Amino acid sequence: MNIVVLVKQVFDTEAKIVIGADGRIDDSNVTMVMNPYDENATEEALLLKERLGGEVIAVAAGTPKAQETLRTALAMGADRAVLVSDPALQSVSDDYAAAQALAKAVSELKPDIILTGRVAIDYGSKIAGRVAEILGIPQVNTVTRLEVNGDKAVAAREIDGGSEVIEVTLPAVFSAQKSLNNPRYPTVAGIMKAKKKELKTLTLADLGLDATMSGKMQIVGYSLPAGRKGGRVIPGEPGQAAAELAKLLRSEAKVI
């Protein structure tokens, strides 16, 4: 079983976002981590490998620094890793271009299963459907349970107001919801071994893609949301305060 897991390096969730002098997000002094949902995807890939055998290959697109995240995947237990890194790709801000590059890198690995997180918490990217579409294979998003039998997989996924169970023929792309599993920690031994595992870096040219490939969307401005100010603290005993709050919500804020 060839299992590919797509991982992305993102800002830590505790990171404070600062817009730099160039009008873009300032990424200096920010701790970078693996996208949390991609940790679930990696865990599931490793569990599948433990059950079914095969190889887990972690793939990322990003700056050279993104190899840290691939090393994390290797330390967790992935067998090898591929980083697609190209200056042309970095100047493009949309998922369209990233998906093209990832899909090309993935297709060369001939995977049976492709896993990734349901969303990247930085730019809100949803790569699963895009990659699946380019590869012409099914996708199952926000997966909370995954079972593989031969060339079929059965996945439970979260939908609004419930869940559904979907059977797909492999290969297919699955995006992990948080509740899919509990990601393992990389171990010290895993970190030591990760150094010796293969981590290949490919450019767009290596993938046979046009290095001038442009995205479809462009970012034209960054801003910070209007800051909120603390309002008023309602004093009094619990009963009194609650009554006052209810009154204010109805007559002043007009929201209940």
Partner 1 sequence: MAKGIWVFVEQSNGNIRKVSLELLSQGRKLADEKGEELAAVIMGQNISALAGEAAKYGADKVYVADDEKLASYSTGAYTSVFAKLIRENEPNLVLLGNTAVGKDLAPRVATRVGVDAAIDCVGIEADAANYVNLTRPIYAGKALIKVVSPEARPVMATVRPNTFPVAEPVSKEAAVVNVPVAVDPADLGAILKELISQATGRPELTEANIIVSGGRGMKGPEDFVILEELADCLGASVGASRAAVDAGWREHKYQVGQTGKTVSPVLYIACGISGAIQHLAGMGSSKVIVAINKDPEANIFQVADYGIVGDLFQVVPALTAECKKLQA
Partner 2 sequence: MIFELSEDHQMMRKLARDFAEKECLPGLEERDEKEEFSRELFAKMGELGFNGVVFPEEYGGTEADYISYAIIVEELSRVDASMGVTLSAHLSLGSYPIYKFGTHEQKTKYLKPLAEGTALGAFGLTEPMAGSDASGTRTMYVDGGDCWILNGSKIFITNAFYADTYVVFAQSDRSKGSRGISAFIVEKGTPGFSFGQKLKKMGIRSSATYELVFEDCRIPKENLLGKEGEGFKIAMNTLDGGRIGIAAQALGIAQGAYEAAVKYAKERQQFGQSIAGFQNTQFTLADMATQIEAARLLVYQAAYLDSAGKPYGKASAMAKLFASETAMWVTTKAVQIFGGYGYSREYPVERMMRDAKITEIYEGTSEVQRLVIGSQILKEF
Binding site for partner 2 (CB under 8 A): 33, 68, 71-72, 75, 185-192, 194-195
Give the Cα separation of 7 and 72 in Å (integer). 10
Contact (CB, 8 A) for 4 and 111: yes
Residues 12-41 that bind partner 1 (CB under 8 A): 13-17, 19, 25, 36-37
Least distance between partner 1 and beta carbon 35 (Å): 10
Give the Cα separation of 130 and 101 in Å (integer). 11
Q: Which helix (H) or strand (E) holds 40?
A: helix 36-52
Q: Which is nearer to partner 2, 68 or 122 (CB)?
A: 68
- Pairing relation of β-strands 113-117 and 172-176? parallel
Q: Which is nearer to partner 1, 53 or 230 (CB)?
A: 230
Q: Which does 47 bind (CB under 5 to 8 A by kind): partner 1, partner 2, none?
A: none
Contact (CB, 8 A) for 165 and 159: no
Structure tokens, 59: 């793939």
Q: Which is nearer to partner 1, 208 or 225 (CB)?
A: 225
Least distance between partner 1 and beta carbon 104 (Å): 14
Among 130, 148, 181, 209, binds partner 1 (CB under 8 A): 130
Residues 165-204 that bind partner 1 (CB under 8 A): 165-169, 172, 177-179
Any contact of residue 141 with partner 1 (CB under 8 A)?
yes
Q: Which does 211 bind (CB under 5 to 8 A by kind): partner 2, partner 1, none?
A: none
What is the b/e burial string over 91-106, where b = at least 16 CB atoms within 10 angstroms of the residue's CB? ebeebebbbbbbbbbb
Least distance between partner 1 and beta carbon 256 (Å): 6
- DSSP tag of 49: H
Give the Cα separation of 152 and 56 in Å (integer). 18
Q: Which does 21 bind (CB under 5 to 8 A by kind): partner 2, partner 1, none?
A: none
Sign of CA dihedral 80, 56, 134, 159: negative
Q: Which is nearer to partner 2, 14 or 22 (CB)?
A: 14
Any contact of residue 1 with partner 1 (CB under 8 A)?
no
Q: Which does 161 bind (CB under 5 to 8 A by kind): partner 1, partner 2, none?
A: partner 1
Give the Cα separation of 19 and 7 in Å (integer). 25
Any contact of residue 228 with partner 1 (CB under 8 A)?
yes
